[in-house]
């Protein structure tokens, strides 16, 4: 079939892509070639000889030709459709988008008493540390389309509020409902990290779908509670191939009020930066220090860059086989060509 014919089919059939085996279209003229070059079949039956036989020859040629009666045009339609079916016509299906390949990401948030200190600024007004952290984490979640995210909070004890899930709206809701003191007033960093590692290693995680498992731990204090030492928890994370990013969050112990720095009692408690740095180094992650909301937002933007979500590839349109249609119609024409002469004789 010529290029022009293929373009005609593309115009008539929406989504027509072409033929998988176009070379089989070369079989279209085979009946004509066979009729032209193969010797005629000899009839050994008795024949009637008449003196006007030369007058019957045009009639005989017309009856056996392409334009003859007896459904010859149905034979040719059936043969043409058989050749089209053998060439495997194909159309393009609906576009298919490859799925995103994200990470298994556990957010670990400190809810100890010191997170209520109002030494942060958000939108030009003073807020406590937890409110600032929630705003930054919510914005971070908006950029993690494709990840399975879990939320774990800790104070004196550690609790998993949200298991690993692709439903980020559930994580946002649980994050919004979290309040200081929900898990106690103290700080159990080791227990929180150990529980995060356990959640990433349990059957609920899907190592086949995502080989990248990450913990982001935010705290503003030192380990003052719990049974598991933070460095021992870091060893467990490293053995499991889990990267841990640690974020030390808290001001310098003062509050800006009408342009003056006012000291806040208890707000300048020391953060165990050395231990947090060791946890990050042991697991292949990084340690960050944030003293205000802007720095915290920049840290999560940097983590977003370090742990990118793999974007979906280019959309593809699969090829769908359509040989069944011409094959079915060719079968129908063949039946008609077989039945039509017998009906006329009847």
pLDDT in tens, 161-172: 999 998 999 999
What would the mean pLDDT of 271-300 be, rounded to a whole number? Answer: 94
Check residue 25 and give its pLDDT.
Answer: 84
Check residue 41 and give its pLDDT.
Answer: 65
Whether the predicted pLDDT of 56 surpasses 70: no
What would the mean pLDDT of 211-220 be, rounded to a whole number? Answer: 90
Confidence of residue 3 (pLDDT cuts 50, 70, 90): very low
Report the distance separating Cα 219 and Cα 227, nearest Å.
18
Report the distance separating Cα 346 and Cα 341, nearest Å.
9
Check residue 42 and give its pLDDT.
Answer: 66
Q: Where in the chain is the domain with CATH 3.40.50.410?
A: 104-306
Check residue 100 and give its pLDDT.
Answer: 59
> Looking at 169-173, 282-286, 313-317, which range is the least confident one?
313-317
Whether the predicted pLDDT of 203 surpasses 70: no
The predicted-structure confidence for 126-143, as pLDDT tens digits, reads as follows 999 999 999 999 999 998
* Angle between helix 189-201 and 230-239 (nearest 10): 20
Please tell me whether residue 160 adopts helix, strand or coil conformation: strand
Neighbours of 336 (CB within 10 A): 15
Give the strand pairing for 125-127 and 120-122: antiparallel
User: Which token pair is 92?
Assistant: 């393009």
Report the distance separating Cα 150 and Cα 204, nearest Å.
11
Report the distance separating Cα 36 and Cα 52, nearest Å.
27
What would the mean pLDDT of 324-330 be, rounded to a whole number? Answer: 84
Check residue 145 and give its pLDDT.
Answer: 84
Question: Does pTM surpass 0.75?
Answer: no
CATH of 104-306, one of 3.30.390.50, 3.40.50.720, 3.30.1280.10, 3.40.50.410: 3.40.50.410
């Amino acid at each position: 079939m010529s290029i022009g014919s293929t373009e005609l089919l593309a115009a008539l059939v929406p989504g027509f892509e072409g033929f998988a085996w176009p070379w089989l279209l070369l079989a279209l003229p085979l009946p004509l070639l066979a009729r032209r070059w193969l010797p005629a079949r000899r009839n050994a039956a008795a024949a009637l000889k008449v003196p006007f036989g030369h007058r019957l020859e045009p009639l005989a040629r017309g009856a056996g030709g392409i334009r003859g009666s007896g459904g010859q045009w149905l034979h040719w339609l059936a043969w043409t459709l058989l050749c089209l079916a053998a060439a495997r016509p194909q159309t393009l299906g609906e576009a298919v988008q490859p799925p995103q390949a994200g990470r298994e990401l556990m957010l670990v948030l400190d809810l100890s008493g010191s997170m209520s200190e109002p030494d942060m600024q958000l939108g030009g007004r003073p807020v406590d540390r937890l409110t600032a952290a929630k705003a930054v984490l919510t914005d971070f979640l908006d950029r993690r389309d494709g990840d399975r995210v879990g939320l774990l909070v800790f104070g004196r004890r550690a609790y998993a509020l949200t298991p690993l899930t692709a439903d980020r709206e559930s994580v946002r809701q649980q994050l919004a409902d979290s309040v200081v003191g929900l898990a106690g007033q103290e700080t159990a960093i080791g227990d929180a990290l150990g529980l995060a590692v356990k959640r990433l290693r349990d059957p609920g995680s899907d190592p086949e779908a995502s080989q990248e498992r990450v913990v982001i731990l935010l705290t503003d204090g030192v380990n003052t509670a719990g049974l598991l030492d933070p460095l021992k928890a870091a060893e467990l994370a490293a053995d499991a191939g889990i990267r841990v990013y640690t974020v030390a969050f808290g001001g310098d112990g003062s509050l800006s009020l009408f342009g003056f720095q006012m000291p806040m009692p208890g707000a300048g408690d020391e953060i165990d930066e050395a231990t947090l740095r060791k946890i990050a180094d042991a697991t292949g992650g990084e340690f960050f220090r944030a003293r205000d909301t802007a720095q915290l937002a920049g840290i999560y933007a940097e983590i977003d860059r370090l742990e990118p979500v793999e974007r979906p590839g280019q959309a593809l349109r699969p090829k769908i086989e359509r040989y069944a249609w011409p094959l079915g119609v060719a079968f129908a024409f063949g039946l008609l060509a077989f039945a039509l002469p017998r009906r006329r004789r009847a």
